C-alpha cells in the first residue's frame, strides 16, 4: 500500500480549527442535503487519519461549534460527520 501525502491538499484547501480545544487542520464542507423531504446541511470536517477525534467531541471552525456524530475512515483520511452543537 502506498502512503498518501496530503500536505499540499490541506495547505491549499484546509482551514484551521480545533477539536475539543486541540489545534487541527482539515477541510470543512457543509453541503445542502434533502433527506426524505427535510432540507438541511450535511456538515463534514475531513482530517488526516491520525488526527485524534471521537464521537461527542466538539469541532470549532470559524467560531462555530459542531459536535462529532460520526467518523468515516477513507484512504488515509477520516470524515468527521458533524451536527450543530
How confident is the model over 3-57, as pLDDT tens digits? 578 888 899 999 999 999 999 999 999 887 777 777 777 899 999 999 999 999 9
- Positive or negative CA dihedral for 44, 18, 53, 73? positive
pLDDT of residue 58: 98
pLDDT of residue 3: 53
pLDDT of residue 1: 45
CA dist 6 and 17 (Å) reads 17
The CATH architecture of the domain made up of 7-84 is Beta Barrel (2.40)
Count CB neighbours of 65 within 10 A.
Answer: 12
pTM of the model: 0.86
pLDDT tens per residue, range 55-80: 999 999 999 999 999 999 988 999 99
Residue 2 has pLDDT above 60, yes or no: no
Amino acid at each position: 500500500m502506498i502512503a498518501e501525502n496530503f500536505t499540499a491538499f490541506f495547505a491549499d484547501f484546509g482551514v484551521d480549527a480545533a477539536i475539543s480545544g486541540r489545534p487541527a487542520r482539515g477541510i470543512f464542507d457543509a453541503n445542502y442535503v434533502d433527506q426524505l423531504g427535510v432540507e438541511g446541511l450535511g456538515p463534514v470536517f475531513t482530517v488526516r487519519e491520525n488526527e485524534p477525534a471521537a464521537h461527542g467531541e466538539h469541532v470549532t471552525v470559524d467560531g462555530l461549534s459542531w459536535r462529532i456524530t460520526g467518523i468515516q475512515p477513507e484512504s488515509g483520511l477520516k470524515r468527521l460527520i458533524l451536527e450543530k452543537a
